[in-house]
Amino acid sequence: MLNISENSINELVKIENFKAYSLLKRSRVKYITLILIGLLLLLIGISMFLPWTQNIDAKGFVTTRLPEQRPQAIQSIISGKVEKWYVKEGDFVEKGDTILFISEVKSDYLDPNLIERTGEQLEAKNQSVDSYSSKIEALKNQLAASREGVKLKTEQNRNKILQARNKLQTDSIELNAINLNLDIAKNQLERMQELHDKGLKSLSDLQSKELKVQELNAKQNAQENKLLIQKNTIINLGIEITSIENDFANKIAKIQSDIQSAVSQRLESVASSSKLQNQMSTYSERQLLYYITAPQSGFISQTITKGIGEMIKEGVDIATIMPSVYDLAIEILVKPQDLPLLSLNDEARLRFDGWPAIVISGWPEASTGIFNGKISAIDQIIDKNGYYRILLSPQEDQEKKWPKELRIGTGARTFILLNNVPLWYEIWRQLNGFPPDFYKKERTDKKEQEVKRKAPIKSIK
Q: Indicate the helix (H) or strand (E) that contains 435.
A: none
Burial environment of residue 258 by CB neighbours within 10 A (0 to 12, 13 to 18, 19 or more): middle
- Whichever domain contains 305, its CATH number is 2.40.50.100
C-alpha closest to that of 181 among 212, 145, 206: 212
- DSSP reduced 3-state for 241: helix
Same-domain status, 191 and 236: yes
pLDDT(93) > 90:
yes
Domain boundary among 260, 287, 314: 287
Q: Do residues 219 and 301 both lie within one domain?
A: no
In this prediction, residue 453 has a pLDDT band, given cuts at 50, 70 and 90, of very low
- What is the pLDDT, as a whole number, of residue 94? 92
User: Is a pLDDT exceeding 60 seen at residue 115?
Assistant: yes
412 DSSP β-pair partners: 60, 352
Residue 101: its pLDDT value, please? 92
Residues across the chain:
461
Q: Which residue type sits at 72? A: Q
Higher pLDDT, 213 or 274: 274
The answer to whether 440 touches 461, Cβ cutoff 8 Å, is: no
Same domain, 157 and 252: yes
Q: Tell me: do 85 and 221 sit in the same domain.
A: no
172 & 281 share domain: yes
The Cα 138–Cα 140 span in angstroms is: 5
DSSP 306: -
CATH number of the domain within which 345 lies = 2.40.30.170
Average pLDDT across the chain, whole number = 80
Asked whether residue 283 falls in the same domain as residue 249, the answer is yes
Mean pLDDT calculated for residue range 41-68: 80
Number of domains in the chain: 3
Residue span of the structural domain in which 398 resides: 55-67+327-418
- For 65, left (φ over 0), alpha (ψ -120 to 50), or beta? alpha
Domain assignment of residue 151, yes or no: yes
- Greatest mean pLDDT among 204-218, 284-298, 344-358, 428-442: 284-298
pLDDT of residue 92: 92
Residues 262 and 340 in one domain: no
pLDDT digits (tens, 9 = 90+) for 354-368: 887 766 666 666 566
Claim to verify: residue 269 and residue 311 sit in the same structural domain: no
Q: Report DSSP letters for 191-206, one per residue.
A: HHHHHHHTTSS-HHHH
Residues 128, 261 within the same domain: yes
Residue 260, Cα to own-chain centre: how many angstroms?
38
Same domain as 356, residue 254: no
Instruction: For residue 4, give the 3-state DSSP assignment.
Output: coil
- What is the per-residue pLDDT for 98? 92
C-beta of residue 378 within 8 angstroms of C-beta of residue 342: yes
Q: Which of 386, 403, 418 is the last residue of a domain?
A: 418
Cβ neighbours for 306, distance < 8 A, ≥ 6 positions apart: none
Any domain includes 431? no
Judge whether 34 lies within some domain.
no
The answer to whether residue 365 sits within a structural domain is: yes
- pLDDT classification of 440: cutoffs 50, 70, 90: very low
Question: What single-letter amino acid sits at 103?
Answer: S
Residue type, 136: I
Pick from 287, 310, 341: which residue ends a domain? 287
Q: Which tops the pLDDT comparison, 306 or 71?
A: 71
Q: What is the pTM of this model?
A: 0.54
Write the DSSP symbol of residue 57: E
The rounded distance, in Å, linking the Cα atoms of 63 and 99 is 25
| pLDDT (mean) for 422-449 | 58
- The Cα 188–Cα 111 span in angstroms is 113
306 lies in some domain: yes
Q: How far apart are CA 406 and CA 422, in angstroms?
A: 36
Closest-CA residue to 66 (of 296, 292, 293, 294)? 296
User: Which candidate, 166, 150, 160, 168, places its Cα nearest to that of 238?
Assistant: 160
Does residue 454 register a pLDDT over 50?
Answer: no
Q: Is residue 447 part of a domain?
A: no
460 located within any domain: no
The average pLDDT across 393-412 equals 83
| 61 and 87 housed in the same domain | no
pLDDT digits (tens, 9 = 90+) for 300-325: 988 887 778 888 888 888 999 988 88
Structural domain contains residue 266: yes
Same domain, 208 and 302: no
Q: Indicate which CATH number applies to the domain containing 282.
A: 1.10.287.1700
Residue 97: its pLDDT value, please? 92
Q: pLDDT: is 66 or 9 the higher one?
A: 66
Candidates 444, 366, 434, 341; CA nearest to 51 is 366
